[in-house]
Structure 1
Amino acid sequence: MAFIKQESEDIKIVEVFSVKQEDTEEQTDLMALKEENEELKEIDEKNQHERHDFIAIEKSIRTVTNSVQKTESNSDLTCHQCGKSFTLKGNLNEHMKIHTGDKPFTCQQCGKSFVKKGSLKAHMNIHTGVKPFKCQKCGKSFVRKGNLKDHMNIHAEEKPFTCDRCGFGFKYQESLNNHKRRIHSGEDTFICRQCGESFTCKVKLYSHITLHTTEKKYICSLCGDAFLQAGNLNSHMRIHTGEKPFKKRVNKT
């Protein structure tokens, strides 16, 4: 009986050892797999960085190439005499006529020549009497657009619409109408608070108020009257001297 027990214990020990050995092998396999995955991950990340660097380099090369091509293109369409650049070759060819003195477009009526066809067409209006450029303010027409532009400067400061009450001028009739409604709503509506004198518009009232606020430093030494301006005092002095500088002319027949 003792022999059988010993055998049973040996079998148990062998089984336990076998199980532990299997666990160790499985752990070893897992460690190896983990290391392999980490290596693959590192390789993948390295490939991504290399791919990103390649794309960046390729983009940089493309940008430089486009810049060089654009520079070469602009250089091809640049006047070598004055440096002016053009987007179309035809415009450059047209421009070069200025330097060469070539004027291929000639007026058949007066013989004057031009560099551009458009210049000849505008010139022909002189002979035909056509004046396509019309002033919208006064209706006057002109042969050239530049002449109309110069003419418009006349109207820039022109104020043809004048207020019959205060003399203010306006560029447009509507502006004059608004002025009358806003300023001249009634007769003598603007009253001086110091003396009670009334006026038909603010401008006249403001001009009058200066008489009260401004010092009258020009005083007549004979009667004591004071004036704002020296010219007014000089005119006043003629009352005392009897001087009459403005004599009426008598026509001799």
Structure 2
Amino acid sequence: MDSLVNNCCVCLNNLWPSNKLSEKDENKISLLNKLRSSVPEIDWIINYRICEPCTNLLTIVYNFRDTCLKSDNLRKEQALNQESKSKVKQEILKNENVLYLKEDNKNDQELNCNRVSDDGNNAIDSEEDDYKTDADFNIVEDTKKPVKRKRKFEFQCEKCTAKFSSSKHLVKHCVSEHGMTSKEVRPFVCTKCTSRFANSSNLLQHIKYHEAVRSNVCSYCGKGFITKTDLKIHEKQHLNMREYSCEICLKSFNTHKDLRSHKLVVHTDPELWKYLCPYCNKKFPIKSNYDGHMRRHTGEKNFECHLCYKKFTDKCVLQRHMRTHSNVREFRCSECDKEYKEKRVMQIHMAKIHGIGIGEIKLPTKERKYICHICPKAYYARNKLTRHLYTHSGEKPFFCSICNKKFNDKSYVKQHMKKTHNESQL
């Protein structure tokens, strides 16, 4: 088996030049990701290599699969859009009165109102006709000219109990009675939450998030999104064209949202930041930062790792944690081919070792601020100090699952398992 390590991982031959699976195409998609996407049944490892003929064949398979998925997603999206539009209309009209115009065409009216009796005189319509209800007007005798119906919408003011038949009347009321601007008025209300919107199209987009159908799939990484807009914003990160420039410092960004966040964080006076923590009075420019900060106060941890069930306060922290469970190193130094799990770690390596991008990235400065209260030793990280304190207390919280031997450091357990029991993993 060892003789096949350097062979092509597909055809197992070494007759042609081969490529590393970490290599990426013009769309920045690695060969490893293409293999995992095309043939997910096999556990592809980044250390494998693939020959040129198999690389060409893989490209054809991957492109074919990608085309099929895009077409299928387009079909689903069209169907979902029709369904969502129908649902929005039902939600908007759920609690609204529907009035029907009792209008027939002139020919029908003449026939109904001027019926001629058998003796040639005009006769009055029967009592049954006189007592027709609104529901009876739904029955259309002349299929060529159906009964016209007019729907009356009801918009309720968010400041008081006043109701209106049109959004324009509601806006006029809010401006004159409550001193609101026309842009502040949001007539369309979501029936599933308290959100309000200025128009029905924004409400339609909002309801899609309640349905949470991620039918828009990124062609670069396979990640799904609820709306086309979210997908386009995400794909701009892959293209990295940086079309949005800050007029103050000329720094460029991939999306308008990133530019707006940059201006709020860097170029706005912190006193003007509108999100204030009620616990420590710290201000934040962006709501997502404020929400994450509040979870640290409350201890709320909504993001859980499905492998080790460890919980985290922020999604980005969970994503960083997930990399610890994987051996995939997608970021490679262009100078020495050293590979890393995180982009920032690679950038720090390139700045420190090769002097590339020193002005663009802030190099971390280490300080031994965790000092032992028993001896003069100091450490860079809190967990290192905790391990050190075990040597003073004699506590050994880590033990071997095979022979129950105890250790004061988890790394010692791994060494023991490997040397004594020939086990590479716990």
The alignment's TM-score, normalised by the length of structure 1, stands at 0.29
Larger radius of gyration: 1
Structure with higher RCO (Cα < 8 A, 6+ apart): 2
